[in-house]
Amino acid sequence: MRGANTTLAQIRKNCGQNASSLRVELWVQRSNHQGELVDLIQSARRNANADIINPGGYSFTSIAILDAIKAFEGPVLEVHISNIHARDEYHRHSKISSVATGVICGLGPHGYIAAMHAAAEMAKKS
């Protein structure tokens, strides 16, 4: 998987293949709407052992997503395709990072695969 030219469909396909090799179930959701993302995070409390999230622009602004993640009992891995620490001052400090179990950024689309492997390892230990 390469960076800027990788489509969401390719990311989903690669994550699905990796989920099979890790023998984990993958549930992929996407939304541009903050309330819908909060609903998805809250529903994951009933259905998921781990949560991998790329909160995009909401990383820097959303207290609602932050609070929803706080209520999730399993590991939460925050993923960013680019290195947010190399961005401008406003886009460097994710609010979500303060409650995430781990943060992966700057690995391009491969960050999702790294997060899946980390989540699978964390699940073995719990």
Q: How do residues 87-111 score in pLDDT, each as one tens digit?
A: 999 899 999 999 999 999 999 999 9
How high is the pLDDT of residue 126?
A: 67
- The angle that helices 110-125 and 8-22 make with each other, rounded to 10 degrees, is 30
Say how far apart CA 100 and CA 117 lie, in whole Å. 16
**In whole angstroms, how far apart are CA 103 and each of 15, 36, 107, 116, 119?**
18, 22, 11, 12, 12
What are the backbone angles phi and psi of residue 92, rounded to the nearest 5°?
-110, -20
Using only the alpha carbons of the chain, give its radius of gyration: 14
Q: Quick one: tokens of 96?
A: 């979500």
How high is the pLDDT of residue 124?
A: 79
Say how far apart CA 23 and CA 120 lie, in whole Å. 9
- Residue 72 DSSP one-character state: -
The tens digit of pLDDT for each residue in 15-47 reads: 999 999 999 999 999 999 999 999 999 999 998
The tens digit of pLDDT for each residue in 38-85 reads: 999 999 999 899 999 999 999 999 999 999 999 999 999 999 999 999
Q: Look up the pTM and report it.
A: 0.91
